[in-house]
Structure 1
Amino acid sequence: MEHKSATLALAALGHGTRLSIYRLLVEAGRGGKLAGEIAQALTLPGATLSFHLKDLAGAGLVTSEQRGRTVCYRANFDVMTSLVDYLTENCCAGDQTCGTPTRC
């Protein structure tokens, strides 16, 4: 992941509502959730949900699929993994005792 992409993803997740949406989609797994289900679970008006989903999608964190008259949203696990890898890329400057399982 490039620095600019990481910055966009972190900015998108830096808002409480977007973070809640993203965590809900991560919890839903690869099956995702319909827009109405997300709105109901987080008690968000449709326009507010759309606004936040647009930012998450723009950062690559969320994908969408049209299903008839509604849309199914999914967390993009590949982007999430790339972001975590980017953040921990130089973890503890190679110190083997730091305890980060994916890096050290």
Structure 2
Amino acid sequence: MPYPPFAKPSIFTIIAQVNSISKAMFVVKCAKCKTKLLKYRKVGKGKLLRCWKDRIVEDYTSKEGSFMKCPKCDEIVGVDAGAFFKMRQGRFTTHGSYE
């Protein structure tokens, strides 16, 4: 059943919702040795649970199989899950700010 015309959001409402999503540039570092691992553009607030591959700006990690590792201490910080890396909590720290 189609929506009545008054129930559809206008294009201006959609643009306002997209612009209200917070974006941030984060630097991800190894928790063990403090080596810089990634520069990542995070969308939305909350914990960094997944690093989407298309949002990674700079990547300094080493990849071994499906694991994302710190190049200095070989700590596993993430696991490849297709379009994103599932991050292992406690193995990395983030620094950055929301725009």
State TM-score, norm by structure 1.
0.32
TM-score (normalised: structure 2): 0.34
Higher strand residue share: 2
The structure carrying a bigger helix percent of its residues is 1
